[in-house]
């Protein structure tokens, strides 16, 4: 697995963005068809298939890191990190994820598409 990072700029507050990244309601708007939280685990649904993840680390309005339950490698995760550039005040969303080298391009295309949905959900 290869780790990669993506950066997207948003014209919104870190608080509003964090809610879309960390709550079932917010994630359901752009990331998955349905998201629920049960007993501390997130259930993401795509095309009728459930995928469970749990939060490894988080800090309100800064970052949240998820680990897929079925992934045996504890060093594999996906993370949303919010940075505010000190000089410009711009808000950047940094995404860290992992993919097989030959699937990395498709994974990046999928993130680009998902982030377009997130921006639409926010009204940008």
Q: What is the pLDDT of residue 89?
A: 83
Instruction: Write down all domains in the chain, each with its CATH number in brackets.
Output: 2-122 (3.30.530.20)
Looking up tokens 């598409």 gives: 113
Q: What is the pLDDT of residue 120?
A: 95
State the Cα–Cα distance between residues 11 and 118, nearest whole angstrom.
12
Q: What share of the chain is helix, strand, coil (3-state, %, to 5)?
A: 30, 45, 30
78-118 pLDDT, tens per residue?
Answer: 999 999 988 888 899 999 999 999 999 999 999 999 999 99
Beta bridge partners of 21: none
115 sits in the region (left: phi over 0; alpha: psi -120 to 50; else beta) called alpha
6-64 pLDDT, tens per residue?
Answer: 999 998 999 999 999 999 999 999 999 999 999 989 999 999 999 999 999 999 999 99
């Amino acid at each position: 697995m290869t780790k990669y990072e993506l950066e997207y700029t948003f014209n919104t507050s870190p608080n509003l963005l964090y809610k879309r990244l960390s709550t079932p309601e917010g994630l359901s708007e752009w990331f998955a068809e349905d998201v629920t939280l049960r007993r501390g685990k997130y259930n993401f649904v795509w095309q009728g298939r459930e995928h469970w993840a749990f939060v490894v680390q988080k800090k309100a309005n800064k970052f949240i890191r998820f680990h897929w339950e079925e992934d045996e490698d504890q060093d594999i995760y996906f993370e949303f990190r919010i940075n505010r550039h000190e000089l410009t005040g711009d808000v950047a969303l940094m995404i860290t994820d992992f993919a097989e080298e030959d699937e990395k391009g498709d994974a990046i295309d999928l993130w680009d598409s998902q982030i377009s949905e997130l921006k639409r959900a926010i009204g940008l």
